[in-house]
Structure 1
Amino acid sequence: MSQVDQPEEQLNESLNEQAEAVAAAEEQVVESVDSEEVDVAALQAELEQAKAELNDVKEASLRTQAEMQNVRRRAEQDVEKAHKFGLEKMAKELLDVADNLDRALQASESDKDNEAIKPLYDGVAMTRDGLNQMMAKFKLEAVDPMGETFNPELHQAMSMIDQPDVAANTVIAVMQKGYTLSGRLLRPAMVVVAKGGKPQVDTEA
């Protein structure tokens, strides 16, 4: 038996004892009446006291059970948070590896069909794909908002540029991808945002 369950067990034992006391008091009243040894006031007071004590124990038991449920709920939440975000420190370090692989792919993109470059490019691409699969497994997801509306909760604007043919506040370049871990922002995406330009049109209206 765990220490958490001991107070509840003790209260249940006390509750049973008080219930037995009430039953004994009631039985004593019946026996006294049958034997004509009637001290009604004293017996009634004893019975009421036993009932009051029983009610106190019941209330204490209910409070303890509620407290135990709260303790268990908080413990479950703590375990869930630890499981969900325990990899945060390692994940932040891993982002540097992902960034370097992305830079290597971008740098060799134009020469990937070159026979001398192709094996290197394919090797880096396979490594990046493997890293993507591992990151997805642990719910480490990229924030790559190219063409999306700027979102200050997920994006960090590095600069704003006039772009007349693009809706205002549209992300027109991603300087560095952002990442979330289990839905919580780990690193914002560093972006360039269109300034001015044509107004956005609400297509859902």
Structure 2
Amino acid sequence: MTDNATPVDNLGADDLREATAGAAPEVAEHDGAAARIAELEEQLATARQETLYAQADIQNVRRRAEKDAADARAYAATGFARDVLSVADNLERALAAIPADLRDDDKFKGLVTGLEATGRELANVFGRHGLTKIEAMGQPLDPNRHQAMMEMPSDQPAGTVVQEMQAGWMIKDRLLRPALVGVAKKPD
């Protein structure tokens, strides 16, 4: 043995095989454990991502359900309100049909007063439930609120509402019924 020789250099081929044979399974076990850890970390990351998506979906469903419930509460009376609008229209027509001379007649004064009081109370009930009348006369035609039924020659600018045949109504911020209107056009 020389001074520069190491104990490994003095080993024979068989001795070297024996010494490294024991180390190979440890390296293989280490590589297998590292691969298993990497696989588990990937599964964990996937599970976390899926959990985040599921939580976001649950939150979106909750928000949508809350909005639907709020809309249902706010607009639950829509069908009923549409039906009652025809009653309000008929009441207005009845009041408009009473001639001025009969309004002052003592025989009809109580009837007129009662009809007017009923009209005011109906307007108050509409107001409490978010129903508002659409202003149409003199306004530019808005297809989201007005339904043009005819064009009429007029000195008003073209597209201006000059006649209202039936009042339009909103329920909160939604259209309940469009106003039926006549629109100005330039004279021929």
Gaps of 5+ in 1: 1-36, 198-205
Map of 2:105 onto structure 1 = 114
1:76 and 2:58 matched:
no
Q: Aligned AA for 1:44?
A: A
Aligned equivalent of 1:168, options 152, 158, 169 = 158
1:134 and 2:128 matched:
no
The CA deviation string for residues 45-101 of structure 1, in whole angstroms up to 9 with x for no partner, is: 333233223212211211111111121122123223322332221111101111011
1:123 and 2:119 matched:
no
Q: Aligned AA for 2:94?
A: A
Secondary structure of the structure 2 residue equivalent to 1:148: coil
Larger Rg: 2
The verdict on how the C-alpha distance between 1:184 and 1:109 changes in structure 2, with shifts beyond 3 A counting, is farther
Whole-angstrom CA distance in 1 between matches of 2:177 and 2:108: 32
Map of 1:99 onto structure 2 = 89
The CA deviation string for residues 150-189 of structure 1, in whole angstroms up to 9 with x for no partner, is: 222222223222223x333222221111112222222221
The answer to whether the 8 A contact 1:144-1:174 is kept is no
The answer to whether the 8 A contact 1:161-1:195 is kept is yes
The verdict on how the C-alpha distance between 1:132 and 1:109 changes in structure 2, with shifts beyond 3 A counting, is farther
Aligned positions, number: 160
Report the CA distance between 1:109 and its aligned residue: 5.9
The verdict on how the C-alpha distance between 1:40 and 1:89 changes in structure 2, with shifts beyond 3 A counting, is same
Q: Aligned AA for 2:160?
A: T
Map of 1:203 onto structure 2 = none
Whole-angstrom CA distance in 2 between matches of 1:150 and 1:60: 51
Whole-angstrom CA distance in 1 between matches of 2:140 and 2:50: 56
1:41 and 2:26 matched:
no
Map of 1:179 onto structure 2 = 169
1:61 and 2:47 matched:
no
Map of 1:89 onto structure 2 = 79
TM-score, normalised by the number of residues in structure 1: 0.68
Alpha-carbon RMSD across the aligned residues, in angstroms, is: 2.2
Secondary structure of the structure 1 residue equivalent to 2:163: strand
Whole-angstrom CA distance in 2 between matches of 1:146 and 1:118: 30
Aligned equivalent of 2:134, options 139, 143, 150 = 143
The verdict on how the C-alpha distance between 1:44 and 1:169 changes in structure 2, with shifts beyond 3 A counting, is closer
Query: How much identity, in percent, do the aligned residues show?
Result: 36
